[in-house]
Structure 1
Amino acid sequence: MTRPLGDLALPSAAQCVPVTVLALKVLADLRSWAAEHPQVLGATPIEALAISTAAISPWRGANELRPAARMYVWAYALDDHVEQNVRSLDELDDLFGRCEAVVRGGARDDSHPLLASLSGWQSDLERAPHYPKLAGLWGDRFAEALRGERYDWTAGLARDRGEGPSDPQEYLTYAASSNAWITHFPRWATSDRDDLLESLPLLDSALEAIEVAVRLSNDLATFERERAEPGQNNILMYDTSPAWVQDELDRYARTAREQLDPPATAGFAPAVELLRLLDWSVTFYSGADFRGWGSDRDPTGESGAPVTTRS
């Protein structure tokens, strides 16, 4: 039962237990995986990502959520590496080309910890029930996310030189850099529902709209930090206002809800999961971002370590 506290209707303590236990199980796995690749995964916000994974899909088991949770961590690690360590476009394109080769071809690449961790993850994902029929879509959307990351990197570099882009519609065409699609996809590959594939066009369209909403909600949450950091690319750097961004966010969120409400009302779990992804992400970013909550904190000081990441 819910317990009112002022204007809040809070779930009972007992109702919180299943999600809490699930989050702890997911966290235990992420800690083990991060220990295997500490150079790139060790400073990611695994605690916040474990909680996020569990809150979006509370009816799933921890083993079933492992691929999604690990992709959350890997995507954050990729963001960090690109923003903190990549020094040239050639270096970036080489890394991204190798990532795509792992995803599309399945060949293992141990030339960098990011590639080694992705290789193991990809090998595990290929055993998922629906993966064979979704492999082409996965490869295409993964490449789209990397193009978004590339755009952000080149735009941030140009902005540091006073030459950054100014068209917000151009920015939105690269919203896949939010990584919402690639981090949610493992839930489809591991689903046990045979009717998921029949509804894939609707789910894919809704997730693309959610991807933009997540990108914009993240931008609103992180702008004050990012405006003082080099190499950043945020919608509020495109001659826009917070009100305009919020209106666009609401429009994309409304589009996704209109698509998903009918199947969700009918009890179609993949649609419910997408609505929970949207609600969780937008609500979370309205009060915080994922940084500085645990493993990525600076153990020598009061605040989070000085990172330059968009997520």
Structure 2
Amino acid sequence: MSTPMNTSTPVGREALLAATEHGRICAVAAKGQRDLQRCAAAYPELFSPKAFEPALFSNVAMAITFGAPWCSAEQLRLTNRAVLWGFALDYLVDHEAQSRHEIDRLTERCLAVADGGTPEPDDALGRLLAELRDELAAGPAFAAYRGVWREELRKVLESMAREWDWKTAAQTDGPALPGLDEYLANADNLACTIVNVTHWISNDDRSALTHLDALVEASAEVQRVLRLVNDLGTYERDLRWGDLNAIMLVSDRSDVERKIEELVARCHELFAPLAPACPQAVEYLARQVGFSSGFYRGTDFWGQM
């Protein structure tokens, strides 16, 4: 296909080249969306159309692609699927679980899969996790970094259970809600860092893996920023759904905005020593903050349900 204008002329050349690159990135996102839809179709008991509307698959694929625009669709396949698994877990905990015992059993099953176990046939969440584990295990980096992946998975499961406790207590006149700092210490319920670790392992990113401990620390700080950016954008929805939100824990919304500024400054402090050794991994984390800051100004990943 011929280009719509002569790129040798100065007029419009930069705009055309920029748009061409944006088009390429969108094509990668479109491929990612189709793969996520295929994945969801294979687990109909896990991804009900009511909760997982088509836009969610598109939103996930866009977020991941714009976070790593240098990657191909294949390089982002497991990263995308790890996000989708996190959404499925979140839905089961927030909207399906009726007791802490159910959540504890879910946690046990997922950790057993992480440790190499075979999920029961009726455990769709475990079967999808086993697929992710096995694909990661087929790569060269998983054996050395499996422990990090398993630890981040544990944090996600335990933090989601802890937030369930907070929400349940609030609905039954139980203990007071957490303070903002305690709430942020539980930001692994966003499942951001487990996705990032999956990304670096699946792509055998040597520069990132060499500095994985420091990157996980930086990712955890990014995760706290994303937790608050998410909350600013979804406050009304969280009120409708009965979910916790940082704005509920402070006297004024501006307290959350100031905390974001503090956390972003801390992110830059953590990024600085890492940038010379693994610049792409640092850019990947920084782009997550930027994308989410823009995205949540206008929409949300979830539909209306």
TM-score, normalization by structure 2: 0.87
Q: What amino acid does structure 2 have at the position aligned with 1:245?
A: V
Secondary structure of the corresponding residue to residue 196 of structure 1: helix
Asked if residue 225 in structure 1 is aligned to residue 233 in structure 2, the reply is no
Give identity over the alignment, percent: 26
Match of 2:134 among 111, 114, 123: 123
Asked if residue 251 in structure 1 is aligned to residue 253 in structure 2, the reply is no
Q: What amino acid does structure 1 have at the position aligned with 2:108?
A: G
The alpha carbon displacement at 1:10 in A equals 11
Match of 2:31 among 25, 30, 40: 25
Secondary structure of the corresponding residue to residue 213 of structure 1: helix
Secondary structure of the corresponding residue to residue 228 of structure 1: helix
Match of 2:44 among 38, 46, 50: 38
The alpha carbon displacement at 1:188 in A equals 0.9
Compared with structure 1, are the counterparts of its residues 15 and 245 closer, same or farther at alpha carbon in structure 2 (3 Å cutoff)? same
| Aligned-partner Cα distance in 2 for 1:128–1:177 | 27
| Aligned-partner Cα distance in 2 for 1:16–1:204 | 29
The alpha carbon displacement at 1:253 in A equals 1.7
Asked if residue 132 in structure 1 is aligned to residue 143 in structure 2, the reply is yes
User: Which residue of the partner structure matches residue 167 of structure 1?
Assistant: 179
- Specify the structure having the higher radius of gyration (Cα): 2
TM-score, normalization by structure 1: 0.85
Secondary structure of the corresponding residue to residue 84 of structure 1: helix
Deviation sequence 1:190-239 (CA, Å, 0-9, x none): 23432323222221111010011111111111111212333x22222223
| Aligned-partner Cα distance in 2 for 1:271–1:239 | 31
| Aligned-partner Cα distance in 2 for 1:282–1:11 | 26
User: Which residue of the partner structure matches residue 269 of structure 1?
Assistant: 280
| Aligned-partner Cα distance in 1 for 2:190–2:228 | 9
Superposed counterparts of 1:87-102, under 5 Å: 87-102=98-113
The alpha carbon displacement at 1:283 in A equals 2.4
| Aligned-partner Cα distance in 1 for 2:298–2:285 | 21
| Aligned-partner Cα distance in 2 for 1:291–1:179 | 15
Superposed counterparts of 1:296-307, under 5 Å: 304=304, 306=305
| Aligned-partner Cα distance in 2 for 1:271–1:35 | 34
Preserved contact between residue 231 and residue 245 of structure 2 (Cα < 8 Å): yes
Q: What amino acid does structure 1 have at the position aligned with 2:279?
A: F
The count of corresponding residues between Structure 1 and Structure 2 is: 288
Deviation sequence 1:27-70 (CA, Å, 0-9, x none): 12111111100121344311110111111111111111111100
Secondary structure of the corresponding residue to residue 40 of structure 1: coil
| Aligned-partner Cα distance in 2 for 1:140–1:205 | 13
Compared with structure 1, are the counterparts of its residues 10 and 235 closer, same or farther at alpha carbon in structure 2 (3 Å cutoff)? farther
The alpha carbon displacement at 1:107 in A equals 3.2
User: Which residue of the partner structure matches residue 58 of structure 1?
Assistant: 69
Preserved contact between residue 166 and residue 237 of structure 1 (Cα < 8 Å): no
User: Which residue of the partner structure matches residue 296 of structure 1?
Assistant: none
| Aligned-partner Cα distance in 1 for 2:173–2:78 | 40
The alpha carbon displacement at 1:273 in A equals 1.1
User: Which residue of the partner structure matches residue 204 of structure 1?
Assistant: 216
User: Which residue of the partner structure matches residue 13 of structure 1?
Assistant: 19
| Aligned-partner Cα distance in 2 for 1:261–1:210 | 14
| Aligned-partner Cα distance in 2 for 1:201–1:147 | 20
The alpha carbon displacement at 1:26 in A equals 0.9
User: Which residue of the partner structure matches residue 93 of structure 2?
Assistant: 82
| Aligned-partner Cα distance in 2 for 1:91–1:267 | 41
Superposed counterparts of 1:61-72, under 5 Å: 61-72=72-83
